[in-house]
Amino acid sequence: MQIVTLKVNGESISVPVEDNWSLLRVLREELALTGTKEGCGMGECGACTVLLDGVPINSCLVLAREMDGREIRTIEGEAPQGELSNLQQAFLDNGAIQCGFCTAGMLMSARGLLMRNPDPTEEEVTEAICGNLCRCTGYKPIVAAVLDAATREKQHGR
């Protein structure tokens, strides 16, 4: 066990972790941030995507003990005061959600994209979410939602 201090959704949290615990496990099991999902635990599905210093990563693949001092953003940080971001609203309006199990990971990949590229092309959106599997929606509504969100956020901010 060792103590790591993570900055999660803007809040500093110190948490004891075992050497082999993934960041995903610590978020879900130790910090009760269950919005981030596990679909495979092996880096193959993207359900566990969070932002690490602003960059989308598979949180099942990184060790928590190496995260000391790093900044992590999860789905729970997307609407901290309960007010939806334009990205979330665009997911609702474009039918980009069915079962919802991929949704948190999709939103985080999309958020990472919009942070580095506020005006993405369809191809750039495709590239950004190609590591996120969705078995329900057929992806088209998700791509539409991200493009729609980019337009809205250019006009109104997040």
Partner 1 sequence: MADDVIGKSIPRIDGLDKVTGSAIYTADMKLPGMLYARMLLSPHAHAKIVSINTDRARSLPGVKAVLTGAELPYRVGLYMIDKPILASEKVRYFGEPVAAVAAVSEDIAHEAVGLIEVEYEILEPVLDAKKALEPDAPLVHEQLHTYECVKGVFCPMGGTNIANRFQLRKGDTEDGFKQCHKIVENEFYAPQVQHVPLETHSSIAHWKPTGNIQIWTSAQSPFAVRNLLSVALGISHARIRVIIPYLGGAFGGKAGIHLEPLVALLSKAAGFKPVKVTATRTEEFITLPCRQGLHARIKTGVSREGRILAQEIEYIWDAGAYADYGVNIGRASGYSGAGPYDIDNVKLDSYTVYTSKPFGTAYRGFGHVELFWAIESQMDMVARELEMDPVDFRMKNLLDVGSTTVTGEKITKHTGSVRKCLEAVAKEIGWAKDARPAKETNGKIRAKGIAVLHKAPAMPPNTASGAIIKFNEDTTVDVLVSGVDYGQGTATSLSQIAAHALKLPFEKIHFIWAKDTDYNPYDWQTVASRLTVMGGLCILRAAEDAIDQIKTTASGALGVDKEELDVDDGRVFVKGDKATGLDYKNVIMGYMFPNGNSIGGPVIGRGSYVAEGLTNLDLETGQGLPALCWTYGAHAVEIEVDTRTGEIEVTQLVSAFDVGRIINEALCRGQVIGGGVQGVGTALIEQYVYDGEGHLLSDSLTDYKIPTVRDVPHEMKQIFVETPHDKGPLGARGVAEHPMISVPPAIANALFNGTGKRIKALPLSPENVFLALHEDSKKP
Please report whether residue 57 would count as binding ligand FES according to CB under 6 A: no
**In angstroms, what is the minimal distance from the CB of 103 to partner 1?**
5
| Cβ 92 to ligand FES shortest distance, Å | 13
First CA to last CA distance, the chain: 38
Q: What does the chain come to in residues?
A: 158
Among 4, 23, 26, 45, binds ligand FES (CB under 6 A): 45
Q: Which H or E run contains 15? A: strand 11-17
The CA distance from 55 to 100, in Å, is 22
Q: How far is CA 117 from CA 4, 75, 87, 121, in A?
A: 31, 19, 14, 9
Label residue 82 left, alpha or beta by phi (over 0 means left) and psi (-120 to 50 means alpha): left
- Site residues for partner 1, window 79-138 (CB under 8 A)? 79, 82, 84, 88, 91-93, 95, 97-104, 107, 126, 129-138
Binding residues with partner 1: total (CB under 8 A) = 51
Residue 8, strand partner residues: 11, 72
Work out whether 75 is an interface residue with partner 1 (CB under 8 A): yes
Q: Identify which of residues 6 and 107 has a Cβ nearer to partner 1 in the complex.
A: 107
Answer whether 37's CB lies under 8 Å from 47's CB. Answer: yes
Nearer to ligand FES, 3 or 99 (CB): 99
Binding site for partner 1 (CB under 8 A): 28, 33-42, 44-45, 47, 74-76, 78-79, 82, 84, 88, 91-93, 95, 97-104, 107, 126, 129-143
